[in-house]
Amino acid sequence: MKVSSLLTASAFAAGAVAQAFEDVDFNVTEALLQNHFDVTLAPELLEFVNNGQLGSKRSLPEPCATACKSLKAVYGSSKLISQGTTEYTAFQAAYWSNQQASVSPRCVFKPSEPIEVSSTVLISRLTQCPFAVRGGTHASFAGASSIEGGITLSMENLNQIKVSSDKKTVDVGPGNRWASTYQALENHGLAVVGGRMSPVGVPGLVLGGGFSFFSNKLGWACDNVAAFEVVTASGRIITANATLFPDLYWALRGGGNNFGIVTNFKLYAFEQGKMWGGQRIYAENQFEKVKDAIFKFGNETSSTDTDAAQIVSFAAIPRLGNVAITQLHYAKPVASAPIFSDFNVIPAISDNTDVRLLSELAILMNEGSHDTGLRQVMWDVTFKLDRGIFDFLTATFFAAVPSLSDVEGLFAAISIQAITEGQLTGMQRNGGNALGLKPEKGPFFIMNMGSSWTNPTDDSRLYKFLNDITETVKAYAKSKGIDNDFVYLNYASEFQDPIASYGADNVERLRAISRKYDPGQVFQRLQPGGFKLSGGPPNQSEP
Ligand SMILES: Cc1cc2nc3c(=O)[nH]c(=O)nc-3n(C[C@H](O)[C@H](O)[C@H](O)COP(=O)(O)OP(=O)(O)OC[C@H]3O[C@@H](n4cnc5c(N)ncnc54)[C@H](O)[C@@H]3O)c2cc1C
Ligand SMILES: *[C@@H]1O[C@H](CO)[C@@H](O)[C@H](O)[C@H]1NC(C)=O
Ligand SMILES: *[C@@H]1O[C@H](CO)[C@@H](O)[C@H](O)[C@H]1NC(C)=O
Ligand SMILES: *[C@@H]1O[C@H](CO)[C@@H](O)[C@H](O)[C@H]1NC(C)=O
Ligand SMILES: *[C@@H]1O[C@H](CO)[C@@H](O)[C@H](O)[C@H]1NC(C)=O
C-alpha cells in the first residue's frame, strides 16, 4: 500500500506555495480512512470519532483500552500483546534496564508496515492515549521507550536490511540491532557507522548521535544517514534527506524521538573487511601511562590515522583492584598498529585483541555484560580535552566508590571518550548535525559513567553518587576554563537535559521544526518519554 504517495499527493494537491505541513483543520478520522483503517471495526472508537464531529464533551470510553482494542481489531491479534499474557511478561523482561521493565503499558503493538505506525499515531491522537516507541531497548531510564498505561510501539518487525544495487547505501529498519546488522552487511563486504556493542538498537543510537569504531574517519552514526523514512504527527510517511524536508533531516540527526517515528534508516555503506580490536586491562600502577596515551591519541595522533578508535573505562573490580579497561579498535586487519604504540608498550594484565569481523568485535565487547535484569543508569558530561582533568576525575571517582561497598550487585565505571578533530570534521557532513559541537573549540572528551545494581532501594544512592561526581568534576573544569556544555543524549541520565546543551540557537531551530511538522505537538505531549524539546530533564526531582 503506497499511502505515502497518496497522502503527499492530497496534501500538495492545491500546489500552494507556503502550505502548512499539517492543515489547521486536520481531520484525524479522515487520515485514518486514507490509511484504510476501518474505524467501524471497534465500536468504541466511533464514539471518539463522533465526539470530534459534534465537538461535544460526552463521557467517552477509556482511551487506551479503546486504542488497543482498535489496533487489534484492524491489524490482528498477532500484532498486539495484552497485559497478563506470557508474551507481555517476556516483552517487559527484555528491556536492558529494570527501571524500564517495570513500566507497564496498556498494550504493546508490533507494526510490520510503516502505514501501521502511521495509524497508531493517528489512533493516539484520536483517543489521546499516550504512546512510547521501543527500538533496541537500551535507553536506561523509566519511560524512555516505555509508557505507563499507554501503547508501547515495538519496532521489532520493521527489520529489513537491504543493500542498494550500487552498494553505496543500505536500508536498515528500526527493528534491527547492531550485531545482526553488521552480520548481514558482512555478506556483502560492507559496513556502516553504528554501535559498538552487539545488542544495542539501531534507532535510538542513530537518532541521538552514535559513537562508533569508525567515527574518527567518518563522524558519528547520525552523520552517516543518507535519508530517514519518518512517520510524522499527521500520519504522513515521508522521506527526509538533504533535498527533501532538509530541516527535518537536520533535526533527526541528534534530535532523538521528538520529530516522528523513523521507519527506515538509509545509511551510507562502505567496504569493510576484517578489523583488529579488543580489550586490554591495565593495573593501577600503569594509570599514568594509560592516561598519557589517551590524551595524546585524542589530542593529536587520532588525526594521523583515522582508522583507529579507543575508549578507556576505569573501574574497581573484585580481585583485580582499580583497573583501566581499554577498548582499542582498528579498521584494518593489522595487529597493534603503530598508532597504538603508546598503549602497545604498557604491560597489560589481560589482552584479547585480535583480527576479527566487525560483528565479532561488537559481540566480544558485550561479553560479560548483563543484557537484562538489572537497575541501570548512565550519566555524561563533556569537557575540553585536557591531561590534568583525567587525574582529577579518576581520583574523584575512586575516592567515592568505597561509599557504595554495601550496594548489592554493584558495578560502576567512569569512561573517557575523546571527541577528536576527525569526529568533529565528520559532523560537518550534509550541512552538520543538531548536536551543536563547535570544531574550533575541540577536541573534547565525554566523561561517561555507567552503573548497574540489583535493588530498587539503592536507586537514589546511585543517582546521587553519579551526580556528585559530575558536579565535582564540572566545578574543577570550570576553574580550569575547560568546561563545555554538551551532554551526549544517548549517555544522559533522566536528571539531565541534553537537548538544552546543543545551544540556544539549535534549540530554537529544533523547536521551530517541531512546530512546523507537528503543530499539535503530538511527539511532545502524547509521547512524553525520553528527552523532550522543552521542559528540562525528564525527571525534575533532585537526584
Ligand atoms: C550496553 C550499551 C552500549 C552502548 N554503546 C553505545 C555506542 O557504542 N555508541 C553510542 O553512541 N551509544 C551507545 N550506547 C547508548 C545508546 O546509543 C542508547 O542507549 C540508545 O538509546 C539505544 O537505542 P535503542 O534503540 O537500543 O533504545 P530504545 O530504548 O529502544 O530507544 C531509545 C530512544 O529512541 C527512541 N526511538 C526508538 N526507536 C525509534 C524510532 N523508530 N523512531 C523514533 N524514535 C525512536 C525511543 O523512543 C527512545 O526514546 C550504548 C548503550 C548501552 C546500554
Ligand atoms: C472528519 O472526517 C470524517 C470522515 O471523512 C467525517 O465524517 C467528519 O465529519 C470529519 N470531521 C470534521 C470535524 O470535519
Ligand atoms: C532524496 O530522496 C529523493 C527521493 O528518494 C531522491 O530523489 C533525492 O535524490 C534524494 N536526495 C539526496 C541528496 O540524496
Ligand atoms: C595538543 O595538540 C596540539 C595540536 O596538535 C599541540 O599543539 C599541543 O601541544 C598538544 N597539547 C599537549 C598538551 O600536548
Ligand atoms: C525521579 O527520581 C526520583 C529520585 O530518584 C524518583 O524517586 C522518582 O520515582 C523519579 N520519577 C520518575 C517519574 O521516574
How many residues comprise the chain?
A: 543
Q: What pLDDT is recorded for position 237? A: 98
What average pLDDT does range 489-517 have in this prediction? 98
Q: Is it the case that residue 447 has pLDDT exceeding 70?
A: yes
Ligand nearest to the CA of 430: 3
Q: Give percent of the chain with pLDDT exceeding 90.
A: 94
Q: Is it the case that residue 49 has pLDDT exceeding 50?
A: yes
Q: How confident is the model at residue 399 (pLDDT cuts 50, 70, 90)?
A: very high
Residue nearest to atom 11 of ligand 4 (CA): 299
Cell digits for 101?
A: 521493565
Q: 3-156: what CATH class?
A: alpha beta
- C-alpha closest to that of 413 among 311, 539, 484: 311
Q: How confident is the model at residue 534 (pLDDT cuts 50, 70, 90)?
A: confident
What average pLDDT does range 515-532 have in this prediction? 98
Residue nearest to atom 13 of ligand 2 (CA): 53
Q: Which residue has the cell 529544533?
A: 510
- Rg, the chain, Cα only: 24
Q: Yes or no: say if 538 and 257 are a contact pair by the CB < 8 Å rule.
A: no
Residue nearest to atom 13 of ligand 5 (CA): 539
Q: Yes or no: say if 234 and 26 are a contact pair by the CB < 8 Å rule.
A: yes
Residues of the chain with CATH 3.40.462.20: 275-498
Residues of the chain with CATH 3.30.43.10: 3-156
414-444 pLDDT, tens digit each: 999 999 999 999 999 999 999 999 999 999 9
Beta strands per DSSP E along 423-533 = 444-453, 483-484
Task: For residue 354, give the H/E element and its range.
Answer: strand 354-356
Q: How confident is the model at residue 19 (pLDDT cuts 50, 70, 90)?
A: confident
339-382 pLDDT, tens digit each: 999 999 999 999 999 999 999 999 999 998 999 999 999 999 99
235-267 pLDDT, tens digit each: 999 999 999 999 999 999 999 999 999 999 999
Q: Is it the case that residue 446 has pLDDT exceeding 50?
A: yes
Q: How confident is the model at residue 52 (pLDDT cuts 50, 70, 90)?
A: low
305-314 pLDDT, tens digit each: 999 999 999 9
What average pLDDT does range 287-295 have in this prediction? 98
Q: How confident is the model at residue 18 (pLDDT cuts 50, 70, 90)?
A: low
Ligand nearest to the CA of 174: 1
104-121 pLDDT, tens digit each: 999 999 999 999 999 999
Q: Is the peptide bond before 443 cis (omega within 30 degrees of 0)?
A: yes
Q: What pLDDT is recorded for position 119? A: 98
Residues of the chain with CATH 3.30.465.10: 158-272+503-522
Query: DSSP class of residue 17?
Result: T
CATH of 158-272+503-522, one of 3.40.50.720, 3.40.50.450, 3.40.50.1370, 3.30.465.10: 3.30.465.10
440 CB-near residues (< 8 Å, 6+ apart): none
The three state secondary structure string of 82-98 is: ECCCHHHHHHHHCCCEH
Q: What pLDDT is recorded for position 535? A: 76
Cell digits for 291?
A: 592516561
Pocket of ligand 3 (CB under 6 A): 226-227, 239, 241-244
Q: Is the peptide bond before 498 cis (omega within 30 degrees of 0)?
A: no
What average pLDDT does range 8-32 have in this prediction? 74
Ligand nearest to the CA of 266: 3
Cell digits for 503?
A: 545551544
| Mean pLDDT for the chain overall | 95
Q: Yes or no: say if 70 and 129 are a contact pair by the CB < 8 Å rule.
A: no
Q: What pLDDT is recorded for position 275? A: 98
Q: How many CB atoms lie within 10 A of CB 421?
A: 18
Q: What pLDDT is recorded for position 56? A: 59
375-389 pLDDT, tens digit each: 999 999 999 999 999
Q: What pLDDT is recorded for position 50? A: 87
242-249, Cβ contacts within 8 angstroms, sequence gap of 24 or more: 242/430, 242/431, 245/517, 246/431, 247/509, 247/513, 247/516, 248/513, 248/517, 249/430
Pocket of ligand 1 (CB under 6 A): 96, 132-139, 144-145, 155, 174, 195-197, 200-201, 203-205, 207-211, 257, 261-262, 369, 490, 530
Task: For residue 121, give the H/E element and its range.
Answer: helix 114-127
Q: What pTM was estimated for this model as a whole?
A: 0.96
Q: What pLDDT is recorded for position 273? A: 98
Q: For residue 200, which phi and psi values (nearest 5 degrees)?
A: -70, 145
Give 226 Cα–ligand 3 centroid separation in angstroms.
Answer: 9
Give 536 Cα–ligand 5 centroid separation in angstroms.
Answer: 14
Q: What pLDDT is recorded for position 5? A: 46
Q: Is it the case that residue 477 has pLDDT exceeding 70?
A: yes
CB 299 near ligand 4, within 6 Å:
yes
Q: Give percent of the chain with pLDDT exceeding 70.
A: 95
Architecture per CATH, domain 275-498, reads as: 3-Layer(aba) Sandwich (3.40)
